Structure 1
Amino acid sequence: MKRKLLLLLSMFLLCSFLFYPARSSQKISDIFNQANSLYEKGNFKEAISYYEQLVQSGKVSSDLYYNLGNACFKAGLPGRAILYYEKAMKFSPRNKELKQNLAYVRSLTVDKQFDEDGSIIFFLLSGMNGFLSINELTIIFMIFYFILFFTGLIYIFLPEKSVRFYNRIIASFVLFCFLISSFFLAIRIYDEEYVKKGIIMFSQEKARSGPGEDYTEVFTVHEGSKVFLRQTQGDWRQITLPSGYSGWVKNKSIEEI
């Protein structure tokens, strides 16, 4: 009797484990479809609340951030629109519609900002920032890693000179590609983890020379401006503009990308 109960309990737990992801996925899909329906009806603020539920659940994607950016723009929230377009760019850096929407919203902001230097040097140093996502770079890195691993095995276990000769040529080429992909991936990881960027959310924010209201005003930034995030002190965050100017603004005025 006890064995039967244990068997039934085990089967129940196994079924729960197998079907829970499906139920969870269905719920996420329902919320996403509901948000899209509200967007199409012109209920942009309600659509935003549904999209943000998905963001808070951690089930993020390029489509989610893109739709959320569109809803924010339609709702008259250009700063939040730019924020979510920037987040979507991390997943789909080659998406033309996404790039066009981001460029258009940027053109409407007070502080006109454009894409960074498009030179070949910047392209290389940014780890193909506008061409490949970090997931794509990781996949390329792993492909070359495994090819290099198997060419090494072939070299060890197949002693024929002709095989080793051609294998050495292939291995040299793969090693070169592996090192290049490692270089780009390392730059991208550094950019993602250590070069923090944010978007100004307030219509206007005065940057000061230090972390407090008593410090001198050094410049003013406006909603939608993209800034580099530095150190935090209390309720204040040090920011740096693309032009190089630095100042301190209130933490609540910024959202990190």
Structure 2
Amino acid sequence: MKRLIIFAFFKSFSLSEPPNELFDQANKLYIQESYIESIKLYENILENNKGNSKIYYNLGNAYFRINKVGLAIWSYKNALRLNPRNKDISYNLTIAENYKVDRVTMPYTSFLLEKYRQVRMYLTADEWKLFGSLLFFALALNSLFRKMAILKNRFSSNISQVLIIFIISVHILILDKYSQEKKSYDEAIFIKKTNALSGPLSDNHQILFEVNEGSLAEILRVNDDWVYIILLDGNTGWVKSETIRFIK
């Protein structure tokens, strides 16, 4: 059953969102296998509206159907940032990444650091803020119960200590997540194969390495139509801005 997820798509917005005729029309075109036409409509919606995980997800499926692996990965990553717990998006992203020509070997990370990153990604920044607020409320409620003698002092004290530890941990995580989202550099996906150069002028600089479609990079600097990137393996170089698409 898992392999069928790649063909699935969201048919409508949730009840809390306004209906969108273009979205329905794009979905109909997708069903009719008019993928290029459906892509144009999905992209049009994104240009005129705030990003929505359902639009990015459907767009990723359409790009995948026409073998635009880089653009499919870009779409799924945007969808996952907006809806980090969606298993269908995660699965389709994994499928698309498996179609990359090469895969950069990730630097070694410890088990605890990897688990921390997974926990951090499980909720959005706003959801972590809400969770932190609920912990504060629980701490205040516990203090109130102790003053009213509803809870024994020793038991209440233990609860308070646990809650304080959780509150500190969650707020450290929130600060870390916001710092990641507000960092000075951006992330981008390569939407086409290209060469990374030693400088922003192709005539005067040498080729350093080749970057394949679908690769993830961090943008360190922008110089007109050129961007200075760093890959996950630490390689750096200049590429044309038309070869990448920023993750929003």
Q: Is the TM-score greater than 0.5?
A: yes
Contact 1:106-1:114 within 8 A present in 2 as well = no
Candidates 103, 126, 143, aligned match of 1:112: 103
Aligned to 2:232: 242
Candidates 54, 58, 80, aligned match of 2:49: 58
- The structure with the larger Rg is 1
- Residues matched between the structures, number: 230
TM-score computed with the length of structure 2 as normaliser = 0.80
Alpha-carbon distance in structure 1 between the residues aligned to 2:189 and 2:229: 10
Alpha-carbon distance in structure 2 between the residues aligned to 1:55 and 1:151: 46
Which ranges of structure 1 fall in alignment gaps of 5 or more residues?
A: 1-21
Aligned to 1:10: none
Candidates 33, 40, 55, aligned match of 1:49: 40
Aligned to 2:11: none
Change (3 A) 1:253 1:162: closer
Contact 2:106-2:233 within 8 A present in 1 as well = no
Extract structure 1 runs of 4+ deviating beyond 4 A: 113-119, 149-155, 159-166
Candidates 84, 89, 93, aligned match of 2:84: 93
Q: Work out whether 1:67 is the aligned partner of 2:58.
A: yes
Candidates 17, 28, 38, aligned match of 1:37: 28
Alpha-carbon distance in structure 2 between the residues aligned to 1:238 and 1:42: 38
Change (3 A) 1:124 1:44: same
Aligned to 2:137: 146
TM-aligned CA deviation for residue 130 of structure 1: 4.7
Which ranges of structure 2 fall in alignment gaps of 5 or more residues?
A: 1-14
Structure-to-structure mapping, 1:82-231, within 5 angstroms:
82-113=73-104, 119-126=110-117, 128-151=119-142, 158=147, 165-194=154-183, 196-202=186-192, 204-213=193-202, 214-231=204-221
Contact 2:64-2:72 within 8 A present in 1 as well = yes
TM-aligned CA deviation for residue 93 of structure 1: 2.9
Secondary structure of 1:87's match?
helix
Aligned to 2:6: none
Change (3 A) 1:99 1:159: closer
Alpha-carbon distance in structure 1 between the residues aligned to 2:225 and 2:50: 29
Aligned to 2:18: 25
TM-aligned CA deviation for residue 150 of structure 1: 4.3
The C-alpha deviation readout for 1:203-244, integer Å capped at 9, x for no partner, is x21111122221221111121111121111222111111111
